[in-house]
Chain A
Amino acid sequence: DTEVTQTPKHLVMGMTNKKSLKCEQHMGHRAMYWYKQKAKKPPELMFVYSYEKLSINESVPSRFSPECPNSSLLNLHLHALQPEDSALYLCASSQDQGTNNSPLHFGNGTRLTVT
């Protein structure tokens, strides 16, 4: 079992819907991440939170809105998505951002389909 829990596992949404992806970890990690992975492509970084503050936004469109309510939770709010946003969305955490011996621990992802 992964120590990073993501819900839901699967999500189908229309282009006008608003939905949220949720991620939770109880390892005491202080850095949390959102990655997006398209089929046969490597994971691509979207956002990084360090100590509950947004530290990296990889020029992600505003229809994706991250939120870190506390050190254990990370949300990704979705609104007005496009079909090309369909992908596997992976959450990860690490002890700290930017130190070695602090590898990322990934959740199993949310498979998102935008219709």
Chain B
Amino acid sequence: DQQVKQNSPSLSVQEGRISILNCDYTNSMFDYFLWYKKYPAEGPTFLISISSIKDKNEDGRFTVFLNKSAKHLSLHIVPSQPGDSAVYFCAAVNYGGATNKLIFGTGTLLAVQP
């Protein structure tokens, strides 16, 4: 049972344009959401996070939006740069739960074309 889903396995965007990566979740108990970026042959790198009490968090070119009623979050990257090309994982956790376990989505491969 995949509690965190990224339905787009890949996304291609032109340099300078906006990249929008989407993530859906099923467990309403999740109270914290994170985005990680992963380059080949490297481990995931933390990018940005958002608490369930907020609907937006911004850090430079990266903004995460959370729609709790729709159980949906998205990561916006603007402007996109070729160096942003990587696999992006959405992750969710219930810090009030018994295990505090981070659940990852299946990832979206972003390709930013020069």
Chain A residues with a Cβ under 8 A of chain B? 2, 4, 6, 40-45, 56, 58, 90, 92, 97-100, 103-109
User: Could you say which of B4, B42, B51, B102 contacts A104, with CB atoms under 8 Å apart?
Assistant: B102
Q: Is the interface of B mostly helix, strand, loop or mixed?
A: loop
Q: Which of B65-89 contact A (CB under 8 A)?
A: 89
**Which residues in B have their C-beta under 8 angstroms from that of A100?**
31-32, 49, 51, 95
What's the Cα separation between A58 and B101 when bound, in Å?
10
- A42 touches which of B31, B46, B49, B107 (Cβ 8 Å): B107
What 0/1 pattern do residues 31 to 51 of B give for CB contact below 8 A with A? Answer: 110101000011111100101
Q: For A108, give its contact among B4, B41, B46 (CB under 8 Å).
A: B41
CB distance from A37 to the nearest CB of B (A): 9
Say what secondary structure dominates the interface of chain A: loop
Considering the complex, which residues of chain B in the window 1-60 have a beta carbon less than 8 Å from any beta carbon of chain A? 4, 31-32, 34, 36, 41-46, 49, 51
How far, in whole Å, are A109 and B31 apart by their CA atoms in the complex?
28
- Which residues of chain A are near B99, meaning CB under 8 Å? 56
Range class of the B interface residue count: 20 to 34
The residue in chain A whose Cβ has the minimal distance to the Cβ of B2 is: A42
Chain A residues lying within 8 Å of B101, measured Cβ to Cβ, are 45, 56, 58
Smallest Cβ distance from A68 to chain B, in angstroms? 17
Closest to A6 in B: B43
